[in-house]
Structure 1
């Protein structure tokens, strides 16, 4: 298993965001695991990047987990993203950081969020990232994914699970699993349930291979 930093995040903080670059990074991560098709897990923006990878590199994909990334970014559902992308550059990054730190510490234990808080946030990337994602994804994107798909959402994430049924109808080997009482950060709300869902999905896949996140 490996975790990757997408453009504008972590060790690639200075790298400009693009879906082309994100797809290449995921592809390289899969190759680094031995070249076999991999199970790719993507959350939120990472989920849309993983969906783009799945469409472009089907030969590298064994299975796909879309977590908090089954809302259409076209049409009226795109409005919340447009508002956020427009608002973020107007707020100082240190203020956004303080707000996010307080939010995470209020909701989660240090064991769950300390590593995220130490790593920091990619606010500078958000306008470019969502600007590229907007208008690009809806349920039709699933029709170009050849591997099985698990749509894994928090039960209480109404925005990002809003298109989950349409996404699942568009793919013959997709299913939905909800984590009870979890919100958008379902992997923080119930890490054990999130990991268990991914593990069970991996065990059901027809061929074995590595996992990348």
Structure 2
């Protein structure tokens, strides 16, 4: 693959995080691919922007356009994965490939109940306390260089109820049928909750496959940044040329 042929990549963060989640992937992929990470509405530098699924997909589309290289590989983690599924449905002409990371759990039915409870609970806990808990957890589980940008960017707890409210009840394996590009379902081996539907999601798409990051949990790109980045790199190299 020449520099002119390199697939543009847009990275979409997960719940409460921001573009800072992808600092290791931006560094690891940037030498070979045009790559950008977005802040979804209500997150990061867009903290004051009201959440909506429509606005979230428009932000991804704008990032694809800004890279100026045609349809992109979109990599979405958790909340960002479900937003990327919706983007694939709304903007198929912008999509060359899709990586769903930690986003192959159906958000309909009984499995959604715990997440509705959490979304309802979050507004009743002071945001500074939640931030301190998250800082301590990230620092305990991951090396400083992996999580520094995420901690520095802060957390979007105020947006969590609206964001998850737009996801819960909306997605199951059937959403894969609207995706017109190849799909990599990339999960942490130990993320037993969010990978629980991976087989059904893969079966629902003619060009989807599952890959696991050994020993990684839900935040697989933090648990093993090199393995996560390598999986995205290999998938990007395998995508068919545009046209």
Would you call these one fold, judging by a TM-score over 0.5?
Answer: yes
Residue 110 of structure 2: aligned partner: 76
Which of the residues 167, 170, 176 maps onto 1:142? 176
Distance 2:201 2:86 in 1: 14
Structure 1: any 5+ residue segments left out of the alignment?
none
Residue 209 of structure 2: aligned partner: 175
Equivalent runs, 1:63-102 vs 2, <5 Å: 63-102=97-136
Matched, 1:156 2:224: no
Equivalent runs, 1:1-213 vs 2, <5 Å: 1-34=35-68, 36-207=70-241
Q: How much has 1:80 moved relative to structure 2?
A: 2.0
Number of corresponding residues: 209
Distance 1:35 1:133 in 2: 29
Listed one character per residue, the Cα deviations across residues 72-101 of structure 1 (whole Å, up to 9, x for unaligned) are: 000011112111101111100011001001
Distance 1:154 1:140 in 2: 22
Q: TM-score when scaled to structure 2?
A: 0.84
Q: TM-score when scaled to structure 1?
A: 0.96
The CA RMSD measured in Å over matched residues stands at: 1.1
Distance 1:64 1:208 in 2: 15
Distance 1:78 1:101 in 2: 26
Listed one character per residue, the Cα deviations across residues 137-178 of structure 1 (whole Å, up to 9, x for unaligned) are: 000000010000000000000111111111000000000000
Distance 1:83 1:65 in 2: 28
Q: Which has the higher contact order (CA 8 A, sep 6+)?
A: 1
**Cα distance 1:20–1:100, how it changes in 2: closer, same or farther (>3 A)?**
same
Between 29-38 and 172-181, the greater mean CA deviation after superposition? 29-38
Distance 2:195 2:206 in 1: 19
Distance 1:202 1:158 in 2: 26
SS in structure 2 of the partner of residue 3 of structure 1 = strand
After the TM superposition, which segments of 4 or more aligned residues of structure 1 sit over 2 Å from their partners?
A: none
